[in-house]
Structures are given as structure tokens and as C-alpha cells.
Amino acid sequence: MAEIKIARYNPRKDKEQLEALLKAFEYRVGEVDLEKFNKEIEERSRDLRLRNAMVVAKEDDKIVGAGFFSIWNDYLGRQHCVLHDVITRKEDAFKKGIEEMIFRELFSYLKKTMKIKKVSLYAKKHGDSNFLSILMKLGIKKSEWDHYEHEL
């Protein structure tokens, strides 16, 4: 088995592979509007800081995972950051450590480059125990809700 390496998304080289991975990820999130996804990715690719924040995991130059986050300000002007589910194929999910590697890279980038101090994640309490165990492995404390927060 080849080593998995973390890299930054390259819009010229990785677009088709990322689309294929996203289509395979529908098992977890339901149907995806590829046109809207591509529009959002193109928008983020124009801003160097956001493009560098799109993290992919590659095995033999093939994308096997991808991680994203969203940042917005609430009505009080406070900044919020939500990490989204790591995109993987069903057969790769939780077996190769892809999710953990991507989350760790995103945590580091958000803390050092984006100067974010706290992130949020959503995980179904009675859903995916593998995902919940990854959160605990990353030092994210249990929550009685589906919403988790983590200080970077």
C-alpha cells in the first residue's frame, strides 16, 4: 500500500479527480449539485489563502480524501469557522486515517495562517461512531448535542 500524502488542491490538475471523489461521497451526504460545488470551488480558488486551505490526501497521485471549511461572520460581527465532513470513498473511510490527517492539517492551517481560534464540527450523536472516535482522538470533547467545538 502506498503512502498517503497531504497536499493543497490544485485547480488545474485536481478538478476532475475531486469531482469523481465527490460523486462517490454521495453515499454519506445525499445527492450533490456538481455545478454549485464547482462554482464554490472556483470562487475559493481565486483567493490564495482559501485555495491553500483546500486540503487533499493523495495516494499514488490519486485523490483519496479532501477537506474543506467555511468561515462567516454572524450578526454581531463574530467570526465562525465550520469544518465539513472529509470527503472520501466509502471503501477508504476511516480505514487509512485519511480523515484524521486532513483534520490535523486543517487545524494547523486555520490556527497559523487564518488565525482562527475555535472551530465547529457537526456529528450525529447516534450516527457514525467511527467519526466520533476520530473527534475524540483529535482531542475534541464529547458533546450531548450534534455540534462540537474545538479550541485550536
Q: State the cell numbers at 82.
A: 465550520
Burial of 10 (0-12, 13-18, 19+ CB in 10 A): middle
Distant-in-sequence, close-in-space partners of 141: CB < 8 Å, separation ≥ 6: 148
What is the maximal distance between C-alpha atoms in the chain?
49
Answer yes or no: are the C-beta atoms of 90 and 41 closer than 8 Å: no
Rounded CA-CA distance 89/147 in Å is 24
Q: Which residue has the higher pLDDT, 94 or 17?
A: 17
Q: Which residue has the higher pLDDT, 125 or 128?
A: 128
Q: What is the pTM of this model?
A: 0.88
- pLDDT tens column, 69-86: 999 999 999 999 999 989
Q: What is the DSSP-derived secondary structure letter of residue 89?
A: -
Looking at the predicted structure, is the pLDDT value of residue 126 above 60?
Answer: no
Residue 115, pLDDT score: 94
Domains of the chain: 4-151 (3.40.630.30)
Residue 72, pLDDT score: 92
- pLDDT tens column, 90-109: 888 788 899 999 999 999 99
- pLDDT tens column, 28-63: 777 889 999 999 999 999 999 999 999 999 999 999
- H/E element, 5: strand 4-8
